[in-house]
Structure 1
């Protein structure tokens, strides 16, 4: 089994699966439809092109740095300034870092890996206003999707890691149910984020079953003296 690892980090991300009209929400983790869309952009697929090969990939994501939800009260006008567009609330994840993995046939993943380094279309984290910080691709691994997401080093930012002085960090892992052995499955939940088609004329999504697990990641040993961390703790207490 081959897994392609993705580092999903940027100032803002937005992974909406239920956004309608004037409220543009975000999930707390990347959606499968958002990741499939990013991969399709990388390899040069247009919205009307078939994506059956990408839909065959198993998907999982680990929350290495959950981030926080922020709201943007959005206003807009037409170019001539005469008409106002509807007001909207747009929600984003700020300062989040995720480790995502896709599992499938090695030749397909090798092509996607190459495309992520030289994408045909711009990559973004859910919305066009949310570009990722490089690198996006962390390369291929020869193991199961679950094992890779359990064993990869922690990707959280240094400032976030310094706030966790315990030896392990409990990271939430959301993964396709079929990628988890039957004996390790719990109570899966349905998520309607499998894109049947990105074609604007018949865009539709299907359900998948998602398992939620907790993964303990080893925390790197911090420096003995960190004056900036001491200042942060003092500010929190004041």
Structure 2
């Protein structure tokens, strides 16, 4: 018999990516991806990001084998999303780097190149305080870190940085009901406990988007389709939900199922440097909430 773990994903901002990590335009998917949700569950359980989903190494110890088994079972679960409150797309015009760099005394002590560049400003300074000295166009996150041959300290090999301008999209005030269907009820219950007491920080797609309120709602017997029909809409940001509305839902399917479309979010590896995903299939449909649908209790907004 299968069971479904219901997860509430809500917050001021969410952003679910399905494309490149660092393009000039960072779009947000219209809904949470399976890879992101499985990654969130793995983080809550304390599983390391370097752990892949491929066949475990025969040399791995029993503890690592057990972790691989849990992660593999999570990835094998069927995934569904119901958009109770789809949210509103918002755009962030984001700039990083360039501009004027205010210097501190340690910047001159540890990097002779900066000291040489502001020699005139330092010579003109008066008084017993360090004063205000700036460099134009040298501001930016350190890149190409290496040991400086003159001072022996670690310095950036790339001082001048052009402004990096990106366009980033988010979903504002969205609330999603996510379901993970699996035949191992104990596994789903362990994930539910971990989501409420996570071992690592959790976020809704990006680190700037923390979740709000209750995450793990309940574990119920049945399948995704029935479960979505038998539970009322989650309250929105204002604490209400229109009982007559028919939300969209996306349920994991087989490639041969009528209306199935592909999405590239089936996780293979969560390695930060080389994440891997493969194709998954899903169908979209409107959900008619049952007149006898179950209400939600004890949800922290």
Q: Which residue of 2 aligns with 1:86?
A: 164
Q: Which residue of 1 aligns with 2:200?
A: 121
Q: Which residue of 2 aligns with 1:141?
A: 220
Q: Which residue of 1 aligns with 2:289?
A: 217
4+ residue segments displaced more than 2 Å: 79-85, 158-162
Inter-partner Cα distance in structure 2 for 1:159 and 1:123: 23
The answer to whether residue 42 in structure 2 is matched with residue 40 in structure 1 is yes
The answer to whether residue 67 in structure 2 is matched with residue 26 in structure 1 is no
The alpha carbon displacement at 1:86 in A equals 1.6
Inter-partner Cα distance in structure 2 for 1:46 and 1:76: 30
Whether the 8 Å CA contact 2:230–2:290 is kept in 1: the answer is: no
Whether the 8 Å CA contact 2:91–2:169 is kept in 1: the answer is: yes
- Which of 242, 252, 262 in structure 2 is aligned with 1:176? 252
Specify the SS of the correspondent of 1:170.
coil
Q: Which residue of 1 aligns with 2:299?
A: none
The alpha carbon displacement at 1:156 in A equals 3.3
Whether the 8 Å CA contact 1:198–1:204 is kept in 2: the answer is: yes
The answer to whether residue 89 in structure 2 is matched with residue 69 in structure 1 is yes
| Runs of 5+ unmatched residues, structure 2 | 53-70, 98-139, 143-158, 292-301
Specify the SS of the correspondent of 1:17.
coil
The alpha carbon displacement at 1:159 in A equals 4.0
Whether the 8 Å CA contact 1:168–1:218 is kept in 2: the answer is: no
The answer to whether residue 233 in structure 2 is matched with residue 154 in structure 1 is yes
Inter-partner Cα distance in structure 2 for 1:156 and 1:84: 45
Structure 1 length as normaliser, TM-score? 0.82
Q: Which residue of 1 aligns with 2:18?
A: 17
CA distance 1:186–1:41, shift in 2 (3 Å): same
Inter-partner Cα distance in structure 1 for 2:160 and 2:274: 33
The alpha carbon displacement at 1:11 in A equals 0.2
Structure 2 length as normaliser, TM-score? 0.66
The alpha carbon displacement at 1:85 in A equals 4.6
Bigger relative contact order, structure 1 or 2, given CA contacts below 8 A and separation 6+?
Answer: 2
The alpha carbon displacement at 1:7 in A equals 0.6
| Runs of 5+ unmatched residues, structure 1 | 220-238
RMSD over aligned Cα, in angstroms? Answer: 2.4
Inter-partner Cα distance in structure 1 for 2:40 and 2:197: 13
**Aligned pairs, number:** 213
The alpha carbon displacement at 1:213 in A equals 1.1
The alpha carbon displacement at 1:110 in A equals 1.4
CA distance 1:110–1:56, shift in 2 (3 Å): same
Whether the 8 Å CA contact 1:74–1:87 is kept in 2: the answer is: yes
Whether the 8 Å CA contact 1:68–1:94 is kept in 2: the answer is: yes
